[in-house]
Amino acid sequence: MAKEAAGKLEWRTNVPDETSKKLEPDYGLVGKTWLRLKCVMGGLVMKVWGFLEKVWNLGVAEPRKVIHCARVGLALSIVSLFYYIRPLYDDFGGNVMWAVMTVVVVFEYTVGATLSKCINRATGTILAGALGVGIHWVADRSGDKLKPIVLGVSVFFFASAATFSRFIPSVKARFDYGAMIFILTFSLVSVSAYRMVELFELAQDRLSTVAIGASLCILVTMLFCPIWAGCELHRLIHQNMEKLVDSLDGCVAHYFKDSGNLTISEEDLNKKIQGYKCVLNSKATEESMCNFARWEPTHGRFNFGHPWKQYLKIGASLRRCAYCIETLNSCVGSDIEAPPCIRKHLSDKCLKVSSYSTNVLKELAITIMKMKKSSRIEFRVAEMNFAVQELRDALKSLPSHLLAPPSSTGEESTEAKSVPIKKADVLPPIMKVLPLITVVSLLEEIAARIGGVADAVEELASLAEFKPAKDRKPKQNLPTNKIISDNLNRQTI
Amino acid sequence: MAKEAAGKLEWRTNVPDETSKKLEPDYGLVGKTWLRLKCVMGGLVMKVWGFLEKVWNLGVAEPRKVIHCARVGLALSIVSLFYYIRPLYDDFGGNVMWAVMTVVVVFEYTVGATLSKCINRATGTILAGALGVGIHWVADRSGDKLKPIVLGVSVFFFASAATFSRFIPSVKARFDYGAMIFILTFSLVSVSAYRMVELFELAQDRLSTVAIGASLCILVTMLFCPIWAGCELHRLIHQNMEKLVDSLDGCVAHYFKDSGNLTISEEDLNKKIQGYKCVLNSKATEESMCNFARWEPTHGRFNFGHPWKQYLKIGASLRRCAYCIETLNSCVGSDIEAPPCIRKHLSDKCLKVSSYSTNVLKELAITIMKMKKSSRIEFRVAEMNFAVQELRDALKSLPSHLLAPPSSTGEESTEAKSVPIKKADVLPPIMKVLPLITVVSLLEEIAARIGGVADAVEELASLAEFKPAKDRKPKQNLPTNKIISDNLNRQTI
């Protein structure tokens, strides 16, 4: 009975095991390995899937990068045609390799970069080729024994000199690739010349294939959805301005959030505030874009000789704002809170300064985007300066608040009640208002630096001869003027 | 008479002309051209001379760059030997070209960069070669008509995909060159395969010459005065710390210069202050150095697997200090001056905070340089924090000064006399102390950020298992302890 029961129980409990046992023998060790492999493969597939998802998102976010990839594929496929089509192959033969190599090495994301590489490559090749042939001529006349020594020494000397030139900042910025190609071609020519007699023929074939590759690159990069370095730089500066607007707005709104001025969620706000970080590190990108843009011909709204260097100045002034916003951002996170009465007294003025400062940046961003001289920028800057002056005025009236206990100021009584008096006793007023005063001071500094951005943009507008913009909404000018005249009146009173 | 007079006058005024006329006929047009040419040549020579002087200074300032150039020349001359020596030439023939090309393209300033390029090149070449042969095998089996289509489509697809991979940040940081070589090799192999039967032989020859070039580069770069990316990164971080020390010291000394604490000239001071600017823009260099350092084998005091990424964190924390110092620097230039009594009251404390802050940075710089755990860093940080606390205490005692007229504070009477009372009336005290309070606030923030640097360095010390340093001057510990205990006493009182 017990055994039967046990057997039943066993049978019952083992049902799944037995069925699995029934299945296992069919596979044995292979089956187990297969299962494990499936697990590993599953994990791998998941990882690859995750990676592909990331890549897909990158592609969706920046479709022009996908277009660039297609262009590279297209250029290489066209070059391959030289191989597949017999008459062309008969003409160029093995040298088509050089066309393929040129396309791979020279084809860059922006038109300017491609042009810069093409011109560098051509100049470097021609200079080095001519020099190589000259050295070869000298070496030929110096006897069989001296010939390898002359060639070797010349390779050593010119390669070293060209390598050193790549360390000189002005050369590095524009002709780095050319110097490398110079070294390459010179070494190849002087070394090949030692054995080959048909140097000129070789050079001609190679140059023609390189020219084919380079001109193909230039054609494809300029005809199929061209991406201009100049446009990219222009857009980068515009985006950086908008990021600073978001950051500054966000920082100040975050600091005065309990004043009821906050309309968006904490998460969105944090995201907005982080915008300045992109601006902090955009120097390298701006410089390379500017270098490439200077090689580009007239395109869109930009003429050849557009004052691209001025964009670097604007970028530098934007970065100076970003440094200040970075410091402001850490002040904003301070633990010590100013007494609500003082906070209330200054918050409106601070918010005004920040909103007028961002108005200036917004106007500058519009000037950059539309490439039209703004008629309102002077008003905006004046507004900002008046807001700063108002903030200073508000600060001037502070000392009485500072020492007086919060409850004594009649009109702030509601806020004053919420402050425990003991806490106010522990920290003397000056310590309590320290972060607030720092915020005020930084806001003033930011406004001054935004003034610097405005100057740089104005200089760009006059250098690039921007035309005056038509007034978009003339009605909006009225309140601006009103505020300024109000402010002026207050000043004179 | 009139004519005679005119003639005389003419004769008189023309004297110098006639003498020059006498000289001119000797040279004629050729002479003039020669003189002009001499002028132009003189100007050109002067310009070239100026440029060469600059280049010479660059070489003298950084002799390792000159050494690098000599190394490139050496490597290329050695590769050229393969051409000049007949038995070697007979073995490799025209493929030596690939060795030359490899040396030119792969040889970089630091060992890590060269290794990274070699490994990238090898991996890219092998992967693309294998894939190319595979595609070739498939194309061969798809009939003569389909073959060019299969090859063309595969070139388009793989080239586009590899180009896109270069946009993925993680790939771009470490495998950008590998991806380019992949595209190059794949295109060359699949295109060459269409015509050439001896694909394997070709691939073998090419790979062996590339291997010769690459191993030559690695040998030369590691044996002749190697420049390690790791050492460079290490030194860069150390230098940046010292620059911040100079800037912070300089800024604060400049602000309180009339307090009689200034010992160096204005020009030297300005030069010192500008140091932080290098730190602001060092991110890109640090990142590339870190990427290269990770490829490097054990060298000097650095093991393979040294926590190079931690250096990026230290770099980021140093940059955060630099942002704050940038803001401080512009506050320091403010026009409004605080009343001397308040200035005097705070200047000692501010100078103390700045000097203790720089002491921390100096100690961290020594830790980094010697790669030994400092036994005094905790004391230094504590000192700095106490100095900050003292500054706060000094600030707490300010409000009475703020409202009271300067002459009422007995002990400051000598300074107070020098202040015209009218000026004090024009600007309310809060406005007058605004820049000073901002400086105080920024100094506090900088001290906090230097604390962040200390944490990052401590993390590095524990990750890289730095050994404890022997106490250099144990006697110096006494005053430190004394100050801290003094401070502690003051706190408890």
Q: Which of A58, A395, A442 comes nearest B430 by C-beta?
A: A395
Amino acid at B39: C
For residue range B191-223, list pLDDT tens digits in order.
776 665 666 777 777 788 888 888 889 999 888
**Residue of chain B whose alpha carbon sits nearest to that of A153:** B77
Q: Which of B72, B331, B396 comes nearest A430 by C-beta?
A: B396
- Assign B332 a pLDDT band (cuts: 50, 70, 90): confident
Q: Which residues of B touch A152 (CB under 8 A)?
A: 77, 80-81, 84
Element (H, E) at A135: helix A111-140
> Residue A245 and residue A254: Cα distance in Å, rounded?
14
Q: Given CB atoms, is B183 within the 8 Å cutoff of chain A?
A: yes
Instruction: State the smallest CA–CA distance between residue B72 and chain A in angstroms.
Output: 6
Task: Using DSSP, state whether B372 is helix, strand or coil.
Answer: strand
Mean pLDDT of A34-40: 89
Can you give the pLDDT at residue A487? 44
> Residue B382 and residue B361: Cα distance in Å, rounded?
13
Q: Given CB atoms, is A88 within the 8 Å cutoff of chain B?
A: no
For residue range A72-117, list pLDDT tens digits in order.
998 988 888 777 776 666 666 666 778 888 889 899 999 999 999 9
Q: Given CB atoms, is A331 within the 8 Å cutoff of chain B?
A: yes
Can you give the pLDDT at residue A125? 86
Selected residue of B77, B172, B396 to mutate for chain A interface (largest A Cβ count, 10 A):
B77
Can you give the pLDDT at residue A323? 92
Q: Given CB atoms, is B57 within the 8 Å cutoff of chain A?
A: no
Q: Which of A55, A101, A327 comes nearest B168 by C-beta?
A: A55
- Assign A467 a pLDDT band (cuts: 50, 70, 90): confident
Q: Which of B55, B79, B428 comes nearest A399 by C-beta?
A: B428
Can you give the pLDDT at residue B408? 37
Instruction: State the smallest CA–CA distance between residue B164 and chain A in angstroms.
Output: 6
Instruction: Decide if pLDDT at B322 tops 80.
Output: yes
Task: Using DSSP, state whether B378 is helix, strand or coil.
Answer: helix
Q: Given CB atoms, is A220 within the 8 Å cutoff of chain B?
A: no
- Assign A25 a pLDDT band (cuts: 50, 70, 90): low
Selected residue of A441, A442, A446, A450 to mutate for chain B interface (largest B Cβ count, 10 A):
A441
Instruction: Decide if pLDDT at B369 tops 80.
Output: yes
Average pLDDT, whole number, for chain A? 78
Task: Using DSSP, state whether B473 is helix, strand or coil.
Answer: coil
Instruction: State the smallest CA–CA distance between residue B470 and chain A in angstroms.
Output: 37
The strand pairing partners of A372, in sequence order, are A467
Q: Which residues of A touch B435 (CB under 8 A)?
A: 441
Q: Which of A100, A163, A392 comes nearest B68 by C-beta?
A: A163
Instruction: State the smallest CA–CA distance between residue B281 and chain A in angstroms.
Output: 8
For residue range A424-463, list pLDDT tens digits in order.
444 556 677 778 888 888 898 899 999 999 999 999 988 8
Higher pLDDT, B343 or B152: B152
Can you give the pLDDT at residue A238? 93
Q: Which residues of A touch B155 (CB under 8 A)?
A: 73, 76-77, 80
Share of chain B above pLDDT 70, in %: 77
Q: Given CB atoms, is A152 within the 8 Å cutoff of chain B?
A: yes
Mean pLDDT of B403-427: 41
CA distances from A396 to A240, A351, B47, B441 (A): 34, 17, 58, 19
- Assign B477 a pLDDT band (cuts: 50, 70, 90): very low
Can you give the pLDDT at residue A9? 41
Task: Look at B323 and A323 and tell me if their CB atoms are within 8 Å.
Answer: yes
For residue range A371-414, list pLDDT tens digits in order.
888 888 888 899 899 999 888 888 777 655 454 444 433 333 33
For residue range B75-95, list pLDDT tens digits in order.
988 888 777 776 666 666 666
Q: Which residues of B touch A187 (CB under 8 A)?
A: 76, 79-80, 100, 103-104
Can you give the pLDDT at residue A135? 87
Task: Look at A80 and B105 and tell me if their CB atoms are within 8 Å.
Answer: no
Q: Given CB atoms, is B280 within the 8 Å cutoff of chain A?
A: yes
Burial track A389-422 (b if 16+ CB lie within 10 A, e otherwise): bbbbebbeebbebbeeebeebeebeebbeebeee
Residue from A210, A449, A196 nearest A320 by CA: A449
Q: How many other C-beta atoms are found inside a 10 Å radius of the C-beta of residue A372?
A: 15
Can you give the pLDDT at residue A255? 82
Can you give the pLDDT at residue B143? 81
> Residue A320 and residue A187: Cα distance in Å, rounded?
46
- Assign B474 a pLDDT band (cuts: 50, 70, 90): very low
Instruction: Decide if pLDDT at B163 tops 80.
Output: yes
Q: Which sign does the torsion angle of CA B198, B204, B207, B208 carry?
A: negative
Instruction: State the smallest CA–CA distance between residue A65 and chain B in angstroms.
Output: 7
Q: B82 and B216 in contact (C-beta within 8 Å)?
A: no
Q: Given CB atoms, is A424 within the 8 Å cutoff of chain B?
A: no
Higher pLDDT, A419 or B280: B280
Q: Given CB atoms, is A389 within the 8 Å cutoff of chain B?
A: no
Q: Given CB atoms, is A375 within the 8 Å cutoff of chain B?
A: no
Q: Which residues of B touch A398 (CB under 8 A)?
A: 430
Q: Which of B395, B399, B437 comes nearest A403 by C-beta?
A: B399
Q: Given CB atoms, is A283 within the 8 Å cutoff of chain B?
A: yes
**Gap between the terminal Cα atoms of chain B:** 111
Instruction: State the smallest CA–CA distance between residue A103 and chain B in angstroms.
Output: 9
> Residue A185 and residue B473: Cα distance in Å, rounded?
59
Higher pLDDT, B289 or A268: B289
Residue B135 token pair:
């595609």
Q: Given CB atoms, is B316 within the 8 Å cutoff of chain A?
A: no
> Residue A12 and residue A18: Cα distance in Å, rounded?
10
Backbone φ and ψ of A18, nearest 5°: -65, -40
Selected residue of B79, B160, B196 to mutate for chain A interface (largest A Cβ count, 10 A):
B160
Can you give the pLDDT at residue A160? 92
Element (H, E) at B223: helix B199-223
Rg of the Cα atoms in chain B: 35
Task: Look at B163 and A68 and tell me if their CB atoms are within 8 Å.
Answer: yes
For residue range A340-352, list pLDDT tens digits in order.
777 777 888 888 8
**Residue of chain A whose alpha carbon sits nearest to that of B71:** A160
Task: Look at A445 and B327 and tell me if their CB atoms are within 8 Å.
Answer: yes
Q: Given CB atoms, is B327 within the 8 Å cutoff of chain A?
A: yes
- Assign B262 a pLDDT band (cuts: 50, 70, 90): low
Can you give the pLDDT at residue B80? 80
CA B195 remoteness from chain centre = 49
Q: Given CB atoms, is B424 within the 8 Å cutoff of chain A?
A: no
Instruction: State the smallest CA–CA distance between residue A336 and chain B in angstroms.
Output: 12
Task: Look at A69 and B104 and tell me if their CB atoms are within 8 Å.
Answer: no
Q: Which sign does the torsion angle of CA A154, A155, A160, A163 carry?
A: positive
Task: Look at A72 and B160 and tell me if their CB atoms are within 8 Å.
Answer: yes
For residue range A136-162, list pLDDT tens digits in order.
888 888 887 888 888 888 889 999 999
Task: Look at B327 and A155 and tell me if their CB atoms are within 8 Å.
Answer: no
Q: Is the pTM of this model over 0.90?
A: no
Instruction: Decide if pLDDT at A5 tops 60.
Output: no
ipTM confidence score: 0.78
Mean pLDDT of A27-48: 87
Mean pLDDT of A235-244: 92
Q: Given CB atoms, is A20 within the 8 Å cutoff of chain B?
A: no
What residues 230-249 of chain B have any CB closer than 8 A to a CB of chain A?
A: none
Q: Given CB atoms, is B396 within the 8 Å cutoff of chain A?
A: yes
Q: Given CB atoms, is B371 within the 8 Å cutoff of chain A?
A: no
Task: Look at A180 and B324 and tell me if their CB atoms are within 8 Å.
Answer: no
Instruction: Decide if pLDDT at B441 tops 70.
Output: yes
Angle between helix axes A63-84 and B169-192 (nearest 10 degrees) is: 20
Residue A471 token pair:
């007034």
Task: Look at A155 and B72 and tell me if their CB atoms are within 8 Å.
Answer: no
Element (H, E) at A467: strand A467-468
> Residue B83 and residue A469: Cα distance in Å, rounded?
67
**Residue of chain B whose alpha carbon sits nearest to that of A323:** B323
Can you give the pLDDT at residue B89? 62
Q: A106 and A114 in contact (C-beta within 8 Å)?
A: yes
Q: Which residues of A touch B81 (CB under 8 A)?
A: 152
Can you give the pLDDT at residue A162? 92
> Residue A298 and residue B50: Cα distance in Å, rounded?
35
Instruction: Decide if pLDDT at B17 tops 50.
Output: no
Instruction: State the smallest CA–CA distance between residue B386 and chain A in angstroms.
Output: 16
Can you give the pLDDT at residue A90? 64
Residue with tokens 């300033």: B109
